[in-house]
Amino acid sequence: MLIVIAFLPVNSALKLTERENEMRRETCGKGLSLENGYGRKVLNGKKAKIKTAPWNVAIEILGNENGLCTGTLISKRHVISARHCFAYLTDKGYVWNTNNQLIFGCQNDQTDIVIDGNFSDTFRIHAGTDCGYRKNCALMSNKTIGISKLILPKVCDDKQLDFDDFAILELSENLEFSKTVQFVCIVFDDSNLFIEDNRMKLFGFGVNPRDGNNSAGQLRYETVKAEKCFKSTKKAFCTRSLSKNQLACMGDSGGGVVQMIDERVTVVGVIYQGILKQFFSKKILIF
């Protein structure tokens, strides 16, 4: 599985106040831990209870065929996920993956696409739950919240498209934190990635295809190790499953790859169709 890396371009999002940022830095990832043990793969990996990984949120994509993605809380009103969960690039520009309507044309610049609006008819965030597909686990408690802004990196060069597949979601309201809803820290360099004994975990609400439409999208995790694999870019690295049987499936896209840094849970990447995206260089199926 591959990971792609870029600094989070949060300048376009609703900025946290100075006090909020101070509190975020003081509290992010604190008091959290990563469970020991290996899953067989993300699809059939080790099941995770949301209380042990409360930074994970399910992203429901509404339409003719409901889709599912995973996201990671990085503040009380921001989530990081994968861009292709929301939009993809065509010859004419970016279009919504729910209805193929044009969002913006491609002007060959590097500015972000910032989209304000009410997205409750197309995308919903479910926090504080072990279950991604609400239709199959409606009785389980969760907090459903809308998205008020989407920030998508605008990359018109097809060669770089995979290396910038992430999105920042601004929530329609601040989340109240609890044992099942908390945010983690963000990494700003790769100094901790390639340490010999370093271990990371990736999370996802991946749908088990054996269950078909009855799948609940159970939150699961896999333990992985980072490896250098690209000579052409420093944005990317690969992961090797320690259980030697790793696979990303529908619902896992956008899921966070996390590790312990300075005794705090820190997100270093997001899953992209078997490719993971990392966050520290400035800058179609839904799964």
57: number of Cβ within 10 Å: 31
Please name which of 276, 284, 202 lies closest in space to residue 250, comparing C-alpha atoms: 284
pLDDT at 92: 77
Give the pLDDT confidence score for residue 79 in this predicted structure. 95
CA atoms within 13 A on the CB side of 182: 22
Q: Give the Cα-Cα-Cα angle 151, 154, 158 (nearest 5 degrees).
A: 140
pTM confidence score: 0.84
All structural domains of the chain? 2-278 (2.40.10.10)
**CA separation for the pair 20, 3 (Å, rounded):** 30
Tens digits of per-residue pLDDT, 52-74?
Answer: 999 999 998 887 567 889 999 99
Question: pLDDT tens across 131-143, in order?
Answer: 887 777 766 778 8
158-201 pLDDT, tens digit each = 555 666 788 899 999 999 989 999 999 988 766 666 666 677 88
